[in-house]
Copies of this chain bind each other. A is one copy, B any other.
Amino acid sequence: MSKNKVNIYDVAEKAGVGIGTVSRVLNNSDKVKDDTRKKVLEVMKELNYRPNKLAQNLARQKANAVAVIVPSFIDHFFVEVLKGIQDALEEENIDLILHKIDLNENRMKKIMDIVHSRKVDGIAALTMDISDTEDQELKDSGIPVVLADEFSADFHSIYFDDLKGAEMAVDYLAALDHSRIAFVNGDINSLHGQKRLEGVKKSFKKNNIIIDQKLIKDGDFYVEDGYQSMQEIFELPQAKWPTAVFAASDNQAIGVLQAVEEKGLKVPADIAVIGYDNIELAKYLKLTTIWQPMYQLGYLTIEVLLKAINGELKDIYHKELELKLVKRETA
């Protein structure tokens, strides 16, 4: 029977000290005589004592955990970010409570539930655009929040410049002498989708490319959406087909690649393809893409969140992470 029911009183009694002293050695207080510390430590080991974190947390009014909120669809993008998050958290020995929030449900209510539960000291939200009307309640709660992959004037945020990224992609295609360029966009209702579209248009204008609305598709950021969009493009008269396509995510680029291949066309000879994200797989697919440093995003998000929790941040922290073009073989 080693059902660990031993608590601080048991240790104190057996060591012949008060519980205050036990608590002190637990918290590495320097004001404990070496002898007593040693004695207490011994008893702890003997009894196989471990502090009850639930009790510690309640007494300290600190949860020693953060919530990470992800959209319901965990895809490659989030996996990369999560890795960064986990690594950053592990170094600090802080628990990661994973919550997923569907786009269609009452997000702010769920978030506020998390806040009020007191089970976390802070929140990292991935790709959650919080509308201005919603955010007041969250702001008022005073809980540290950092937005990853989303900008907000009201919260710490770490983000990429979607416009710039899209522009970069199309510029590259244009430099390769493509003038019939399709854009397979993701969710046009998201800020990401809108900004990327802006970037595409900006580049088109700059490079004197005439916009063909039939070559601009939107859907979502998944593989099937890319596949679907490309299928639709192939329904156009062949003369209208693009010589290059920019997909708003690597996932979609994979779908595009599939569709192109099924058509018996060659990449990049017949149709060049450039993606967005640089997920791990992109390397193996030899996909040219825009690299969003996702791991770094996750890691930095936590670093900032922990600083916020520790009150080390006076102002709202805003940071744009640099995008990079990764040239491989599809464009």
Contact = CB atoms under 8 A, between A and B. Distances in A.
A323 interface: no
B223 A284 contact: yes
A88 to B, nearest CB: 12
B118 A52 contact: yes
Interface stretch (A15-23, A90-98, A162-170, A236-244): A90-98
18 contacts: A2-B141, A3-B141, A3-B142, A4-B141, A50-B116, A52-B117, A52-B118, A54-B54, A54-B63, A55-B58, A65-B119, A74-B79, A86-B100, A95-B119, A97-B97, A97-B98, A223-B284, A258-B284
A186 interface: no
A235 interface: no
Nearest to A48: B116
| Interface SS of chain A | helix
A53 B117 contact: yes
Interface string A73-88: 0110001001100100
A140 interface: yes
Interface string A94-117: 011111100000000000010011
A281 interface: yes
A284 B119 contact: no
Contacts of A98: 86, 96-98
A155 interface: no
A260 to B, nearest CB: 12
A40 interface: no
Interface string A51-64: 01111011000010
A204 B140 CA distance: 67
A255 B227 contact: no
Given A55-B58, A98-B96, A254 B227 contact: no
A119 B97 CA distance: 11
A98 B69 CA distance: 13
A82 B70 CA distance: 13
A112 to B, nearest CB: 8
Contacts of A227: 284
A118 B86 CA distance: 21
Given A3-B142, A54-B54, A65-B119, 17 more contacts: A3-B140, A3-B141, A4-B141, A50-B113, A50-B117, A53-B117, A54-B118, A74-B82, A74-B83, A79-B79, A86-B98, A95-B97, A95-B99, A96-B98, A96-B99, A97-B98, A255-B284
A174 B304 CA distance: 56
Interface in A251-282: 254-255, 258, 280-281
